Structure formats: C-alpha cells, structure tokens
Structure 1
Amino acid sequence: MHNKSGFPTTHVLGFLGSLLMTFLAGAIALKTSLSFSAIMWIIGSLALLQAGLQLFMFMHVNEGDARKVQLLNIAYGVFLALVIVVGTIWIMSGLHQHH
C-alpha cells in the first residue's frame, strides 16, 4: 500500500519491524540470564512473528482475489516443513538409540 506521494509506508514499517525483532532476539540471546530453553522459545516465537510479518507486509498475502488460495498454500508449506523437521528428528533420534 502506497500513500499519495508513492512512498511505500507499509514496506518500511515491515522492514523496521523485522529489524527490531532480529535485534531483540540477538539481545535476548546475548544479554539475558534466562535458561537456554526459555531463550530458544523466545527466539522461535520471534522468528514465527517475523515470518508472519514478512508474509503480510512484503508478499501481500492478504491482498487480491486469491487470498484463500494463498493462505492454503502457506498452510501446506508449513505442514510440509513440520513433517520434514519432525520426521528428521524422529529418524535421527531412532538411529541414535540403535547405535
């Protein structure tokens, strides 16, 4: 979405939001005394928020007539990524137990 002057306001806001989340994750990782597990949960949550922000701000998922198809494609991609990650962890932990 551009305002009347043609300046891409939403793109700049999305970029600044992404930078903020990246620096926040780095600061949490380097400067806090939280447990490793808590830090990983916070960084993972910030990563998911940043991915969602980028999909809506830069990829324009919520625009156009094929909005439902785009969201379905994203859900399918997330499903495939989860199957690959969980399957890899499952296989690797099974191999580790048999060795």
Structure 2
Amino acid sequence: MSAHDTDHGHHDGAHGTMGSYMIGFGLSVILTAIPFWLVMTKVIANPQVTAFIIMGFAVVQIVVHMIYFLHMNTRSEGGWSMMALMFTLVLVVITLSGSTWVMYHLNHNMMPAMEDQVEGQMPGQMDHQMNGPMNGMTHDMSRMQ
C-alpha cells in the first residue's frame, strides 16, 4: 500500500492550524455574546431594530464559520467553495427575510380585534376585563354576606 492509497482523498486544500481555529472560536464567542448582551440589557428600545441587528450578527457568524472551520476560500476546489458560500448567503437572506415577514404578519393578523381593545385602555382596566365573569361573581358574593 503506497502513501497515495492511504490519503483518503485529501487534496492540497487549506487545513486549519490551531491559531486559525482559535481565531474562529474567539470570533464565534464574540458574535454570540454581543447579541445576547443586546437582548438581555435592552440597549436598543425598538425590538425590530434589535432583531435586525441580531440577524446581521448571525450572517457574519455564518461567514466566520465557513471561513475558519470549513476552510472555504476562492482558491480551494477551483472556486467552487466560493460559489457554495454565495449560495449559502442567498439562502440565509431568503430564510431570514421570509421568517421576519411571516412572524410580523402572524403577530399583526392573529388577533386584530384584541389589539384595538388593548390600545385604548389603561393598564388597570385590562385586569378588570380579564376577570370578567369571575369578577362579577365575587362582587355578587360580597352582597350576599
């Protein structure tokens, strides 16, 4: 058995070093910690802006994973890796924008009548209405005593 028989199809493509894996790991941790911090501390008051920022960090993290862990670049495999990267980015944009669109419309269209009622009320009035029949029963019971 020669050395070429035991190669298992590995070509001269880029293989990661310990340093490149550590850079990728560090970037991944940072790109996870920043969105977590944004959500937990509510730095940005508008939830939609926060969601778009988090999606931006997600796209950047996908690229970091593809470069540092999957070793995709323009030189390896005759440029097909870059085509795969572009295809992945297109799919991510379609998925994220479609998910955002669906979630927005689900939130907006699920209970439009309830939303109109809630907007015109004070915070204490909602509790009174939520207890509707039970509130009337306790009021009637207090009359009996």
Report the TM-score when normalising by structure 1.
0.69
Q: What per-residue deviation string (whole Å, max 9, x for no partner) do you get for residues 28-54 of structure 1?
A: 011024210110011011111111111
The match for 1:9 is: 19
Give the root-mean-square deviation of aligned CA atoms: 2.8
Q: Which runs of 4+ in 1 moved over 4 A?
A: none
Q: Using the aligned pairs only, state the percent identity.
A: 14
Amino acid at match of 1:45: G
Q: Distance in 1 between matches of 2:24 and 2:48?
A: 28
Q: CA deviation at 1:79?
A: 3.5
- Bigger relative contact order, structure 1 or 2, given CA contacts below 8 A and separation 6+? 1
Q: Point out the more displaced range, 74-83 or 24-33.
A: 74-83
The match for 1:71 is: 82
Report the TM-score when normalising by structure 2.
0.49
For the 8 Å contact 1:10–1:57, the answer to whether it is kept is yes
Unaligned runs of 5+ in 1: 3-7
Unaligned runs of 5+ in 2: 1-15, 110-145
Q: How does 1:1-99 map to 2 (within 5 A)?
A: 1-2=16-17, 8-34=18-44, 35-62=46-73, 64-80=75-91, 82=94, 86=98
